[in-house]
Structure 1
Amino acid sequence: MKFLQFAFLFHLMLQPSFQNGLIAQKQKMIVFDHAKSSIEIMGTTNVSDFGCAYNVRLPKDTLMIALKNAEKMLEIKGASLRLPIKSFKCDNSPMTSDFRKLLKAEEHPYINIKLIGIYKIESLKNHAEIAINIAGVQKHFTIATHIEKTDEAYLCEGNPELCITDFGIEAPEKFFGMVKVNEDITVAFSLSFSVYDL
């Protein structure tokens, strides 16, 4: 979402060049409002729900933007994010420990996210193509996002669903199979940020 660190706003900021079929490159700095931003991974078991929130300040980011009027897609270069798994805190300490084991944090300590491009459509609802690497396995996804612009900042939100077995992670069982984690998880992000020219 940054989870996706998300330069989705460039679809709005640079829309005239995109519509005219021009190719341009710009550098921008994104500064997140940590008090208004959140990233959470949520899942369910056969007995309860759980949530694990990212607990570390999101860094400033510099992105190289390439605009190409190809198939109505805004191509983004250099937009990537590394989220330390140990920076996610769950509802309680045992659950946090189980979450880290589930995502194989000792062998693969980061969730890596790369923003590849944004499909331009007429409303503020966009589709972004991203690559996510969890537990050493990378997969490509197309996710729906929503962008809102206020007087002071941009707000980008989304809640894509992922299947952990796509990343070679087996849904665990506890207490002799009495508690089972479901394969599907949701990554909910709400990112408030401002953008500055370099």
Structure 2
Amino acid sequence: MKVTHLFIGSFLLMSFLFSWRFNSTPKTSTVFFCEGSSLKIKGSSNVNKFECVLDMNTLSDELLVSYIESEDYLNFTNTNLVIPAKHFDCGGKMINKDFQKLLNTDEFPEIRLVLKKVMKSNITEDCTEAIVDVLICGIKNTYSVPITTSKSIEGNNINGVLALNINDFSLEPPKKMLGVIKVSPVIEIDFLLNFKVD
């Protein structure tokens, strides 16, 4: 699998919220990915819904991350993650082609994320919030993403949904059949990641 090709994998470090303590010394950890992880981009039009699934075999088995702890957050350094945009399967050749055309994958083959900060949540023990820069087609926007974490016998689990508007990246939703079928500019990135931390 390709090293560093991991979308949203940085959120795996939410697991530190189960046992973090204040320490301003920079730390490095390795995250190992397990079976059962998934990443999907969901969208809709005025006539139906669609789902594009990332081929998880294109991602790395492990990821090295650096961070600094405080009482209220984890501050990440050099955590620049990449999604290989051409490795999404939307269920058919034509919709795959439309998806890649929308993201202009010939010129911009990757979607980049920079994890900035992970904060404790005031809601429940297993909910946290991450601040992430998202770079698509050369345009960067910052998002706050709610994350839910849990532990299992196999390791740790994290899941969440990042909602964004593709117009914020100067992307125009495709229109079909002379504009009769219109795709909504709002999409959701739905992820479930299983992992262990060394």
Please give the TM-score of this superposition, normalised by the length of structure 2. Answer: 0.89
How far apart are 1:104 and its partner, in Å? 1.1
Aligned residue number for residue 151 of structure 1: 153
Contact 1:147 1:155 in 2 (8 A): yes
Aligned residue number for residue 80 of structure 2: 80
SS for the counterpart of 1:177 is: coil
* Off by >2 Å, runs of 4+ in structure 1: 10-13
The count of residues paired between Structure 1 and Structure 2 equals 187
Q: Give the Cα–Cα distance (whole angstroms) in 2 for the partners of residues 16 and 126 of structure 1.
A: 16
Contact 2:167 2:185 in 1 (8 A): yes
Contact 1:4 1:114 in 2 (8 A): no
Q: Give the Cα–Cα distance (whole angstroms) in 2 for the partners of residues 116 and 80 of structure 1.
A: 9
- Which residues of 2 match residues 54-93 of structure 1 at below 5 A? 54-57=54-57, 58-59=59-60, 60-69=62-71, 72-93=72-93
SS for the counterpart of 1:98 is: helix
Structure 2 gaps of 5+ residues are 1-5
Aligned residue number for residue 50 of structure 1: 50
Contact 2:21 2:70 in 1 (8 A): no
Q: Give the Cα–Cα distance (whole angstroms) in 1 for the partners of residues 115 and 27 of structure 2.
A: 16
Write the letter of the residue equivalent to 1:26.
Answer: K
Structure 1 gaps of 5+ residues are none
Write the letter of the residue equivalent to 1:183.
Answer: P
Aligned residue number for residue 119 of structure 1: 119
SS for the counterpart of 1:29 is: strand
Aligned residue number for residue 16 of structure 1: 21
- Which residues of 2 match residues 141-180 of structure 1 at below 5 A? 141-180=143-182
Quick one: structure 1 residues 78 and 25, their matched pair in 2 at CA, closer, same or farther if it must change by over 3 Å? same
SS for the counterpart of 1:107 is: coil
The answer to whether the aligner puts 1:38 opposite 2:38 as a matched pair is: yes
How far apart are 1:16 and its partner, in Å? 2.2
Q: Give the Cα–Cα distance (whole angstroms) in 2 for the partners of residues 56 and 193 of structure 1.
A: 13
Please give the TM-score of this superposition, normalised by the length of structure 1. Answer: 0.89
